[in-house]
C-alpha cells in the first residue's frame, strides 16, 4: 500500500457473506447481551455499596468491543479499555470473575488486588488495563513489534476513546505504528463526549482522517452495528497479518451512561440521547437476526433470557466469593520473568530470556 492509498477514508466495509455462520451471529448477540446484563448487575451492586470506588461501563457501545474482538484469533493480543467488557467476554472472561473483580473479591480477575476496572487476563491474551490515556496504544505497539520481529502471524488490538486522540502519546503511537508498519489494529470509539467535552470542542479534524498523515488507512464504521465493526476489524487484522501494517477504525457511537456512575450526564442534550437510544446496538441486532438471517423471534428471546439467567447465577457466585487473603498481597506485583506476550516465549529470537 502506498501513502496515497492510505489517504482513502473508507465509509463501509463489505462483509464477505460466508464469514459469519448462524452460530457466530447467535454468539454476537449473546456476548453483547451478556455485557449489558453484567454491567446492569454491577451498577446495582455499586448502588448497594458493594463496589468500592466508582463504576464505569460501556452502555451503548457493546457492538464495538464484541465485533472487534470477535475478529481475532486466540494467538492475538488485546489491550482492552473499561468501556469494552464485551471483548473480555469474547476472550473467555466470565461474568462472575468480572463482578467479583468490581467487588474486590478473591475470585475476581486480579484476585481482588487491583481497583475494579483495571483488569486483563494474560492467560486469555489480554493486558491489564492502563488508565493513562491512551498509553495502551503504546503497549499494543510493543506487542505488535515483538510479533513482527519474530515473524509471527499475529496481531495486537487496542481500544481508545476519541478524547484520547488529543494526547501527544496517541500521535507517537500512530507515528511508530506507521513507520514500522506494525501488525496493530487501533479501535477508536467516538462516543461523542470525553467526560463532558463534546466532539466540537475536541478536534477540528475528525481523528480518523489523521491516519492518512501517519501512512495507514483510517476506516469509519457505524459502531452500533456489530457486523460492520466485525467486518472492519477482520479486514484490518487480515491486512496486518499480510504485512500491510496498522489500521485505525473509528466506530461512531454514543456513551449512553455518564462517564462513571457518579456523572448525571446533565450536559447531554436530550434529543441526542433519544436519537442514539433508537439505534441501540442490541435491539437493532436482535431485530436484524429475525429480519435478515432467518432467526425466529422466540429463538432470539430465548438467547436473551438464557443470558439474563446466566448473569444472575454469576452474580450469586461473585457475591459468595471471599475477600482476598492479605497474606497474598505481595504476590504477582512484580514481573518474575520476561514474557511480554504471555506465551512463555522470548520477545524475539535474538533475546536471551
Q: Which residues bind ligand TPP (CB under 6 A)?
A: 83, 131-133, 160-164, 167, 189, 191, 193-195, 255, 259
Is 29 in contact with 282 (CB distance < 8 Å)?
Answer: yes
User: Using CA atoms, how far apart are residues 216 and 233, in angstroms rounded to an integer?
Assistant: 14
Instruction: Output the smallest distance, CB 194 to ligand TPP, in A.
Output: 3
Decide whether 133 or 300 has the Cβ nearer to ligand TPP: 133
Instruction: Output the smallest distance, CB 90 to ligand TPP, in A.
Output: 19
Residue nearest to ligand TPP (CB): 161
Instruction: Output the smallest distance, CB 61 to ligand TPP, in A.
Output: 8
To which residue does cell 457492538 refer? 63
User: Using CA atoms, how far apart are residues 170 and 207, in angstroms rounded to an integer?
Assistant: 11
Instruction: Output the smallest distance, CB 71 to ligand TPP, in A.
Output: 21
Q: Count CB-CB contacts under 10 A for residue 9.
A: 16
Task: For residue 285, give the 3-state DSSP assignment.
Answer: helix
Task: Name every residue whose Cβ is closer than 8 Å to that of residue 245 and which is 6 or more positions away in sequence.
Answer: 1, 177, 178, 181, 182, 183, 215, 216, 239
Decide whether 207 or 347 has the Cβ nearer to ligand TPP: 207
Decide whether 158 or 191 has the Cβ nearer to ligand TPP: 191
Instruction: Output the smallest distance, CB 81 to ligand TPP, in A.
Output: 7
Instruction: Output the smallest distance, CB 162 to ligand TPP, in A.
Output: 5
Q: Helix %, strand %, coil % for the chain, to 5?
A: 45, 10, 45
β-strand partners of 126: 78
Decide whether 163 or 183 has the Cβ nearer to ligand TPP: 163
Decide whether 187 or 315 has the Cβ nearer to ligand TPP: 187
Decide whether 83 or 210 has the Cβ nearer to ligand TPP: 83
Closest by Cα among 248, 249, 161, 158 to 197: 161
Amino acid at each position: 500500500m502506498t501513502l496515497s492509498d492510505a489517504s482513502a477514508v473508507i465509509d463501509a466495509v463489505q462483509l464477505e457473506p460466508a464469514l459469519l455462520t448462524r452460530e457466530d451471529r447467535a454468539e454476537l448477540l449473546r456476548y453483547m447481551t451478556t455485557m449489558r446484563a453484567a454491567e446492569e448487575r454491577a451498577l446495582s451492586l455499586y448502588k448497594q455499596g458493594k463496589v468500592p470506588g466508582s463504576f464505569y461501563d460501556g452502555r451503548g457501545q457493546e457492538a464495538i468491543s464484541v465485533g472487534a474482538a470477535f475478529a481475532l484469533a486466540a494467538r492475538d493480543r488485546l489491550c482492552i479499555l473499561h468501556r469494552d467488557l464485551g471483548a473480555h467476554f469474547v476472550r473467555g472472561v466470565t461474568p462472575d470473575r468480572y463482578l467479583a473483580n468490581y467487588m474486590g473479591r478473591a475470585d475476581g480477575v486480579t484476585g481482588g488486588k487491583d481497583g475494579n476496572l483495571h483488569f486483563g487476563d494474560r492467560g486469555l491474551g489480554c493486558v491489564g488495563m492502563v488508565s493513562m490515556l491512551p498509553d495502551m496504544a503504546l503497549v499494543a505497539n510493543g506487542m505488535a513489534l515483538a510479533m513482527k520481529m519474530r515473524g509471527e502471524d499475529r496481531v495486537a488490538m487496542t481500544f481508545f476513546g476519541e478524547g484520547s486522540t488529543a494526547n501527544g502519546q496517541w500521535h507517537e503511537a500512530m507515528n511508530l505504528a506507521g513507520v514500522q508498519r506494525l501488525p496493530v489494529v487501533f479501535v477508536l470509539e467516538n462516543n461523542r463526549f470525553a467526560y463532558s467535552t463534546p466532539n466540537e470542542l475536541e478536534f477540528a479534524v475528525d481523528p480518523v482522517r489523521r491516519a492518512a498523515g501517519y501512512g495507514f488507512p483510517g476506516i469509519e464504521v457505524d459502531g452500533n452495528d456489530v457486523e460492520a465493526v466485525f467486518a472492519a476489524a477482520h479486514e484490518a487484522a487480515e491486512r496486518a497479518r499480510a504485512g500491510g501494517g496498522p489500521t485505525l477504525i473509528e466506530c461512531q457511537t454514543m456513551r449512553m451512561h455518564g462517564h462513571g456512575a457518579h456523572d448525571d450526564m446533565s450536559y447531554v442534550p436530550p434529543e441526542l440521547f433519544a436519537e442514539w437510544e433508537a439505534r441501540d446496538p442490541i435491539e437493532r441486532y436482535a431485530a436484524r437476526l429475525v429480519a435478515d438471517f432467518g432467526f425466529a423471534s422466540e429463538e432470539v428471546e430465548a438467547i436473551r433470557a438464557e443470558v439474563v439467567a446466566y448473569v444472575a447465577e454469576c452474580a450469586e457466585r461473585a457475591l459468595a466469593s471471599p475477600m482476598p487473603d492479605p497474606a497474598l498481597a505481595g504476590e504477582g506485583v512484580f514481573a518474575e520473568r520476561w514474557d511480554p506476550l504471555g506465551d512463555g516465549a522470548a520477545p524475539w529470537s535474538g533475546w536471551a530470556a
